[in-house]
Structure 1
Amino acid sequence: MTFVEAPVPETKDNALPRFIAQHRRLFVLTGAGCSTDSGIPDYRDADGGWKRSQPVTYQAFMGEELTRKRYWARSLVGWRRFGKALPNPTHHALARLEQLGKLELLLTQNVDGLHQQAGNNKVVDLHGRLDTVRCMRCEQRSPRHALQQALLELNPQWMALDARDAPDGDADLDGHDFSTFTVPPCPHCGGILKPDVVFFGENVPRDRITTAMQALEAADAMLVVGSSLMVFSGYRFAHAAAKAGKPIAAVNLGRTRADPLLSLKVDRSCSDALAFV
């Protein structure tokens, strides 16, 4: 698509194309709404509230063996579909914006890696990636699919289970007894294995924040796609953009925490709103 800089009458349908056309370097922040069309559920409703119980915290995961058993049992079932998710039109639209030279950086709160699959290269995974497993003792990283095989070998009775998908590779398995589920230790040092993502109660690595803030400083404007920004780790960038006087547009179904800061709000699905790209 060719972005036309000439003035055009403002309408509901051309507001977002006009915003993108007017700003040469966009800082894009994406959230769960980008991936719902790929079959990955989101966390929040139109008012920004939780649709389900809050995700496991870092403190509970690290401190309670039963919590880790429950997490990995649910992940074993959920990963079968999450690990096969493919980019949808929203991901492809944002990849085209990068190809057109419009992106300073794409900062994603998602952990699915679908932006990279779609062709984006200038990406910072703010909350990490679910397709990688980290040992909390020796810091070794390993692919998630290898752990999936180990979990299946140790827990063959769970292979036949199926459940409704939950956000970020989780599955609803309430009512099951997780006490007998076996979670393998790190094969290198025997430490605790954790998905290489930032849990609630865990700090985002400082280098990711620094890289993103530098890109925001270099950008002309900020575009939020599919995020309510209810979590401070994402909201801080909208706050910084507003403080620096940079215009902010948001595409999101429902309220965002940054609504008072926005120059433009598009209350439509991400794929619909970005279909013009």
Structure 2
Amino acid sequence: MKSRIEALADFLARNAPLAVLSGAGVSTASGIPDYRDRNGDWKHAQPIQFPDFVNNADSRKRYWARSYVGWQRFSRANPNAAHFALADFEASGKVATLITQNVDRLHSAAGSQRVIDLHGDLGAVRCLGCDASNTRGDYQQALKDANPDWHSDVFRYKPDGDAELADNSHAEFRVPGCRICGGVVKPDVVMFGENVPKKRVLDASSAVDSAKALLVVGSSMMLFSGFRFARQAAAQRKPIAIVNQGRTRADDVAELKIEADCGDTLSAAAALLAS
């Protein structure tokens, strides 16, 4: 009987070119926490909702205070073995397109060229008024300049550059407006309660259409924004393989499921294919 690694290597070899859907589990080895436990349930309180960010000034202040602290750690994250293995699979022609639900840009940093950042890029900000964009590094400096004496204790770091701070520590935190029009600045990511831009969805759907199979890595697919692509592949009777530590919404339609570390598993499959 084939080992799980041999089965994955065989899946990759016979189904190229394939599409990949990646989630938070790919980046945990880079020091970025994930959202869900092995059963697919929330590990933390749910993140801020988009309508609350837009309509509530205190919620925005709380968001940016936490993000100001969390970004200092998040921005130093580097790609890990899973990112590099997927980039190698693309370079060797096994992966055509990588659709990621992550906002850390670590796939691109590892060398993947054909990446669809489904939920955006935390390394950029955008004005909700005039649509002007800026780098997060520049906005981080603006936050620092606006809060030279502000400090808060950190209880723990959370997914996507968030940090849990002492209660009400954001009360005195100042949030700069857009450098062009003074409007509300938002991270250039799809927040919970916000729709993924239609073009990104269409591009990702087209990638699944043109692929021979779908490989899911590090995602429980509990959110429909990612699960829709597994459902699409299943409807087209395309093979699906999943590498994820815990339950996923697509377990019942996958021909191969491996519950193991993403980096170790992908690296071992890559080594087997290269031998």
CA distance in 2: counterparts of 1:59 and 1:221, whole angstroms: 36
CA distance in 1: counterparts of 2:79 and 2:192, whole angstroms: 26
Q: Contact 1:34–1:90 (CA<8 Å) still a contact in 2?
A: yes
Give structure 2 stretches of 5+ with no counterpart: 271-275
Residue equivalent to 1:247:
239
Q: TM-score, normalised by structure 1?
A: 0.95
Q: Quick one: which amino acid aligns to residue 3 of structure 2?
A: T
RMSD value over aligned CA atoms? 1.1
Q: Quick one: which amino acid aligns to residue 192 of structure 1?
A: V
**Could you tell me which of 87, 101, 105 is aligned with 2:93?**
101
CA distance in 2: counterparts of 1:240 and 1:77, whole angstroms: 39
**Could you tell me which of 150, 155, 158 is aligned with 2:147?**
155
Give structure 1 stretches of 5+ with no counterpart: 1-8
The residue correspondences of 1:168-183 to structure 2 (distance < 5 A) are 168-183=160-175
Q: CA deviation at 1:181?
A: 1.0
Q: CA deviation at 1:162?
A: 4.1
Q: Contact 1:242–1:261 (CA<8 Å) still a contact in 2?
A: yes
**Could you tell me which of 110, 118, 128 is aligned with 1:126?**
118
SS where residue 20 of structure 1 aligns? Answer: helix
2:60 is aligned with 1:68: yes
Q: Quick one: which amino acid aligns to residue 122 of structure 1?
A: R
Q: CA deviation at 1:172?
A: 0.9
CA distance in 1: counterparts of 2:190 and 2:130, whole angstroms: 17
CA distance in 1: counterparts of 2:166 and 2:11, whole angstroms: 45
Greater displacement, 234-243 / 150-159:
150-159
Q: Contact 1:77–1:163 (CA<8 Å) still a contact in 2?
A: no
Q: Quick one: which amino acid aligns to residue 73 of structure 2?
A: R
Structure 1 stretches (4+) deviating beyond 6 angstroms?
A: none
The residue correspondences of 1:1-277 to structure 2 (distance < 5 A) are 9-159=1-151, 161-276=153-268, 277=270
CA distance in 2: counterparts of 1:275 and 1:12, whole angstroms: 13
Residue equivalent to 2:273:
none
Residues 80-112 of structure 1 show CA distances to partners (whole Å, capped at 9, x for unaligned) of: 010111000000000000110111210000000
Instruction: Tell me the percent identity.
Output: 52
